[in-house]
Structure 1
Amino acid sequence: MRRDDHFAQDHIITTGRPVTEESSCHMVYQLELSAGQKSVWVAQQLNPSDRSLNIAGYGAIAGAIDSAHFEAALRTVLSEVEALRARFELTGEGLHQVISESLDWSLRQLDFSASADPLAEAEQWMRTDAALEFDMANGPLFRWALIRVEPELYLWYQAMHHIIVDGFGLSLITSRVADVYTDLAAGDPVRECPPTSLAQVIDEHTRYAAGPDFAADREFWLARLPGKPRVASLATRVSSDTSAFIRESSRITPADVDRLRAVARRLRVPWYGVVIAAVAVYLNRVTGLRDIVLGLPVAARPSPVARRTPAMLTNVAPMCLTVDPALDFDAMVVAAAAELMVAHERQRYPYELIIHELSGLPDGRRQLGPEVNVIAFNTSLTFGGFPSTPYNLSAGPVEDMSINIYDRPDQSGMLIEFDGNAGLYRPEELRSHLDRFVDLLRASA
């Protein structure tokens, strides 16, 4: 999601118990916003025409989906997930998210199976829809569609405004729909939803923002980040527009992944520490910079209930790495693993506040290099026994470059995506960087 020092003053959260009120249609209650939600809100207000705050993707389900059961599963999840029933109100009393207890909604169903190229036409429809505006004041702030492309191939399309959910939250929603559909298709009782509470999650963030951990994290980051020279960017041009991005992707074979994991096991570090170390080494080789600061998207969910509750809570934690060409790659991996621990321990302090307080650093550009987004949650699901393959259409704004790492449990290897700001990178430049990085990663194993 977008990170900008303009948002800094909006990130001290104040909230309390939900306030219930009677509307003409439904009972509703109000909640304050998380820090991440306020950031998204301000970003959208600064640029109302920006659609990069829409996140979208689809799951390709290899089987004959029962549309009635599928819609019933979605309705069940819609009744459980408060974030899906949210809209946003700015009044004289401030900005609130208003949660309806119910929502008038029906599943959109499309059939492209008779088209000349059903999958291509379906993808074009989804990309067009993903660029449509959401009405934040009235909602709903999500769109779902079930698309038939073959008798035994369906696409479940999801588009949501980033203000209601992040990638982690979206994975919770998707997993729950898969479980409910599976139960309905089998004629079994629907398994219970694990307890969730958006109000409790917001309250946790409020107490953090008012407590000693917040102050300690602030001092830690302000002491750690000054003195870094230039941002390690691979771009050769300048752009402030984050509304469009280009994507290049590559896949690491299962054999290569096994070798990377072997390095991690030998050094007793998480497997993605190897990938992050390779990113830092690549940036050093291309830019010549020794001090590299990467952005690490983090869930910012310290409690069990937060880890069960779909919401927009994500943050970006800085990762400060010094690349010494005299050291071997193993040493770089160990250093990256240590920084991962720091980033996770201090992951709740809003990155926007760091940028606000360090905005006097040289050249006025972003304070982080590329973001490295490790997709560690399960993205391979089954719907009534039918396997689903996920495809990401848009994960939010790309200020410079986002490197997305998917280590899928289906033995298909590791998928690596380079998303580049379209104003900074040409497709051939992005492809060249990706190919060279993959070569480096393979050589590191």
Structure 2
Amino acid sequence: MSISAGATLPLTAAQREIWMAEQRLAGANRVFRVGDYLEIHGRVDPVLFEQALLRVVSETEALHVRFVEERGDGRQVLHGLGDWSPTMIDLSAEPDPERAAHAWLEAAVARPMDLAGDRLFEYALLRLGPDRFYWYQGYHHAVMDAFGALLITRRVAEVYTALVQDHPVKPSPFSPLHELLAADEKYRDSQQFSLDREYWTEQFADRPEPTGFVDRPSTTPEHYLRRTAGLGAVELNDLRAAARHARAPWSHLVIAATAVYLHRMTGSSCVVLGLPVTGRLDQLQRRTPGMASNVLPLRLSFRPDLSLGDLLGQIADRVVELGRHQRYRAEDLQRDLDLPGSLGTWYAPVVNVMSFDYVLDFAGLPTTAHNLSSGLVGDFTVAVWDRRDGTGLKVDVNAHPEICSDGELAAHHQRLLTVLRAVTTADPTQPVGRIDLLTDEDRTALLGMAADAPPVAETTLPGLFEAQAERAPDAVAVTCDDTALTYAELNTRANRLAHLLITHGIGPEHNVALALPRSTDLVTAILAVLKTGAAYLPLDPQYPTPRLNHMLTDAQPTLTLTTTTTQTNLPHHTNHTLHLDHPTLATDLTHQPTHNPTDHDRTTPLTPHHPAYIIYTSGSTGRPKGVV
């Protein structure tokens, strides 16, 4: 049953988020404008096309609404279409019809739409020649998402074909808008909503910091930067073959490539990507054009030995879980946990893989689909389009111009394509840390820099510090609270401690555990251990006892430097221990030489090939592992 014109309806949760975001913007803004155009190859009958479009628009209640505010909340009111008709533009007489068409399209998608006063859709048929037509579709994202727009596109093609062939037009397949709204309201009052909230709040209870390879924007832009490239049919076939070999959907390889790139660019072991979903779980929702889509966080964990196959397995598990809980709004989760960033944009980048069947024809005329704008980008979005029309993939990257220049965006784009191609050819057992990120341009630039670089003398880390202490002895080297040490003072302290450690047999190929609070003594101790030629093992006294015990047992340090206070937090172990705050040690240090230790002083000569330190992984995916 349809609702009559003038009826006031609630908003879906997705619509409400957009409505609230618009209220925060000053004046009209294009960021929620979405648009595509369909290139129709052949002679279109404009009269029948208009008839088909008028019919489908009349069937699509989501296109009949305006937004109003009632008691501080957003509502939508159904309006009649009035005398609306699609725009028909003939550009065939222009010197360059294609350029003129693209200029018109760019201007159209840049025009803001007023939620309260405008029609929230726009259609135009552009004639470039007798057998070349562009059909433009523009919407405000508050009334239409990509899935809904595809339903409309398919229905227009179906109706136009029937009219051209003089066949009866099948009844509308669309469900009325109020059923979509009722389903959304029912969900938010259901037990499933509570279960979904519980799932998401457990997943992100630790409130991970957002990790991206661009900064966070502070403004909402008037436009976005975009770079586009295509992967041909052969490369798409290679991608699908690699996915079959890895027993994964090819879309998971795209997600893996983006995650690997983000991990490698930032070094973060926790990567959170935004993953758009349709938000439609039943047939009623799948046959109702409107706005229901959602963007949810996909959390992935990285470790140094993570293989591509393990990453794909992790993605598969997370995507299945995400799909089960996809109707819970990311904005709700962000408010639940008071997560950082603007609403809906604390994850970055967003990875939007759109694999829709766009093999459409208009009474036998083939088509090619093109995207112009997908709405709010946030800071960085990767969009991969598979139209299933034999043309391959199109890979777009979109970025906020405040935080990413066009040149930087181009570099990110090329590296992402490089990683995607590398993932396509990589063996699933290959560690993700060995996947090549460098483009040909990056490699040429780096090799050029290496060729032009002056020769570097072979030296050691303590040797570099000692050279700086000689160059600038009176410059401040380290500060902590009210304490400041010059390079000369720090070097002298480190030398005395190093000579004392050497008397305890410490030298190259040994390691010394440092269980010290953050202080000038910690920096002194690090330098002293390095000056002996030994490696240092940092121990955070606040770590759990089992972790500290594992590190000490695994690394077997020759000696531990600590303090009497910190010692109480350490597990019992049999290694030799020196307390830096013990009066006897302080007296011993005053009798040690102040000169830089040399190989004559050390137990054996020191070379740059000796270990400098041992660091342990977080152990978030297993036992911590020591890395030299």
Q: TM-score, normalised by structure 1?
A: 0.90
For residues 108 and 363 of structure 1, the distance between their equivalents in structure 2, rounded to whole angstroms, comes to 37
Match in the other structure for 1:45: 23
* Cα distance change, pair 375–290 in 1 and its aligned pair in 2 (3 A): same
Identify which of 371, 392, 398 aligns with 2:350: 371
1:344-401 C-alpha deviation (Å, 9 max, x unpaired): 1110011111111222559999421111111122233211111111111111011111
Q: Does the 8 Å CA contact 1:56/1:157 hold for their aligned counterparts? A: yes
Supply the distance in 2 between the matched residues of 1:272 and 1:362 (Cα, whole angstroms): 27
Of 178, 182, 204, which residue of structure 2 is paired with 1:199? 178
Greater alpha carbon shift after TM alignment, 118-127 vs 283-292: 118-127
The within-5 A match list for 1:50-129 is: 50-92=29-71, 94-100=73-79, 102-129=81-108
What is the Cα-based RMSD across aligned positions, in Å? 2.1
User: Within 2, Cα distance between the matches of 1:419 and 1:88?
Assistant: 29
CA spacing shift, 1:164–1:282, aligned 2, 3 Å: same
Structure 1 position 193, deviation (Å): 2.0
Aligned residue number for residue 8 of structure 2: 30
Q: Deviations over 1:268-290 (max 9, x none)?
A: 32221111011111111111111
Query: In structure 2, what is the equivalent of residue 9 of structure 1?
Result: none
Select 2:238's aligned residue among 259, 262, 282: 259
Greater C-alpha radius of gyration: 2
Aligned length: 423
Closer, same or farther in 2 for the Cα pair 1:428/1:310, shift >3 Å? same
Alpha-carbon separation, structure 2, partners of 1:416 and 1:214? 34
Looking at structure 2, the residues matched to 215 and 299 of structure 1 have their Cα atoms a distance apart, in angstroms, of 20
| 1:173 match | 152
Residues 389-420 of structure 1, C-alpha deviations (whole Å, 9 max, x = no match): 11111110111111111123222111111111
Q: In the aligned structure 2, how far is the partner of 1:43 from the partner of 1:236?
A: 21
1:133: Cα distance to partner? 3.1
User: Could you list the per-position Cα deviations for residues 28-49 of structure 1 after superposition, in whole angstroms to 9, with x for gaps in the alignment?
Assistant: 3222110111111111121132
Listed as ranges, the gaps of 5+ residues in structure 2 are 425-628
Distance 2:387 2:148 in 1: 18
For 1:364 and 1:173, locate their aligned partners in 2 and report how far apart those are by CA, in whole Å.
29
Deviation at 1:134, TM superposition (A): 2.3
Partner in structure 2 of residue 348 of structure 1 = 327
Q: Give the structure 2 partner of residue 385 of structure 1.
A: 364
Contact 1:231 1:369 in 2 (8 A): yes
CA shift at 1:143, angstroms? 1.1
Deviant stretches of 4+, over 4 Å: 17-20, 360-366
Q: Report if aligned partners of 1:166, 1:311 keep a CA contact under 8 Å in 2.
A: yes
Is the contact between residue 53 and residue 162 of structure 1 (CA under 8 Å) also seen in structure 2?
A: yes
What secondary structure is seen at the aligned counterpart in 2 of 1:379?
coil
Distance 2:34 2:341 in 1: 32
- CA deviation map 1:140-194 (0-9, x unaligned): 2111111111211111111111111011111111111111111111111112222
Of 301, 314, 317, the match for 2:293:
314
Confirm or deny: 8 A CA contact 2:334 2:344 kept in the other structure: no
Distance 1:364 1:31 in 2: 25
1:406/1:386 CA distance change after superposition, 3 Å? same
Local SS of the residue matching 1:95: strand
**Alignment partner of 1:208 is 2:187:** yes
* 2: CA distance, partners of 1:93 / 1:368: 29
Q: 1:257 to 1:180 in 2, by over 3 A?
A: same
Pick closer, same or farther for the CA change 1:162–1:277 going to 2, 3 Å: same
Give the AA of the match of 2:145: D
Partner of 1:11: none
Query: Taking structure 1 as reference, are residues 56 and 265 closer, same or farther at Cα in structure 2, changes over 3 Å only?
Result: same
> How many Å apart are 1:232 and its aligned residue?
2.1
Note if contact 2:88-2:124 (Cα within 8 Å) is conserved in structure 1. Answer: yes
Rounded Cα–Cα distance in structure 2 between residues aligned with 1:382 and 1:363: 41
- Give the 3 Å change call, closer, same or farther, for CA 301–423 of structure 1 in structure 2: same
Equivalent residue letter for 1:240: T
Q: What does residue 589 of structure 2 align with? A: none
Query: 1:245–1:259: structure 2 CA closer, same or farther, 3 Å change rule?
Result: same
Question: CA shift at 1:111, angstroms?
Answer: 1.3
2:373 to 363, 369, 394: 394
TM-score, scaled relative to structure 2: 0.64
Which residue of 395, 403, 408 corresponds with 1:416?
395
Determine the C-alpha separation between the residues in 2 that align with 1:364 and 1:199: 27
Q: State which of 199, 206, 211 in structure 2 corresponds to 1:232.
A: 211
In structure 2, what is the equivalent of residue 339 of structure 1? 318
1:182 aligned onto 2:150 = no
What secondary structure, in the 3-state scheme, does the structure 2 residue paired with 1:41 have? helix
1:6-25 equivalent positions in 2, closer than 5 A: none
Gap change, CA 1:360 and 1:36, over 3 Å in 2: closer
Distance of aligned partners of 1:366 and 1:167 in 2 relative to their CA distance in 1, 3 Å threshold = closer
The answer for the alignment partner of 1:24 in structure 2 is none
**Alignment deviations for residues 304-358 of structure 1 (CA, whole Å, 9 cap, x no partner):** 0110100011111110011223122111111111111111111001111111122
Conservation of the 8 A alpha-carbon contact between 1:231 and 1:366? no
CA contact (8 A) 1:37 1:163 kept: yes
Q: 1:236 to 1:315 in 2, by over 3 A?
A: closer
Q: Provide, for residues 39-94 of structure 1, a one-character-per-residue CA deviation record: whole Å limited to 9, x for no partner.
A: 11111121132211111121111111100000000011011110111112223495
Q: In 2, Cα distance between the equivalents of 1:90 and 1:395?
A: 26
1:272 corresponds, among 243, 247, 251, to 251
Aligned-partner SS, 2:6 = strand
* Structure 2 residue 368 is matched with structure 1 residue 404: no
Contact kept, 8 Å, 2:174 with 2:289, in 1: the verdict is no
CA displacement at 1:301 relative to structure 2: 0.7
Q: Could you say what secondary structure the match of 1:28 adopts? A: coil
Select the structure with the greater relative contact order (CA < 8 A; seq sep ≥ 6).
1
CA distance in 1, matches of 2:328, 2:2: 24
Aligned residue number for residue 263 of structure 2: 284
Name the counterpart of 2:405.
426
Cα distance in 2, alignment partners of residues 348 and 362 from structure 1: 21
Percent of residue pairs bearing the same amino acid type: 35
Cα distance in 2, alignment partners of residues 223 and 113 from structure 1 = 59
- Residues in 2 aligned to 1:204 and 1:391: alpha-carbon distance in whole angstroms: 32
Whole-Å Cα distance in 2 between the matches of residues 191 and 362 of structure 1? 48
Give the corresponding residue for 1:131.
110
Q: Matched residue of 2:39: which SS?
A: strand
SS of equivalent to 1:114: coil
Matching residue of 2:507: none
Question: Secondary structure of the residue that 2:398 maps to in structure 1?
Answer: strand
Q: Is the 8 A contact 2:339 2:346 kept in 1?
A: no
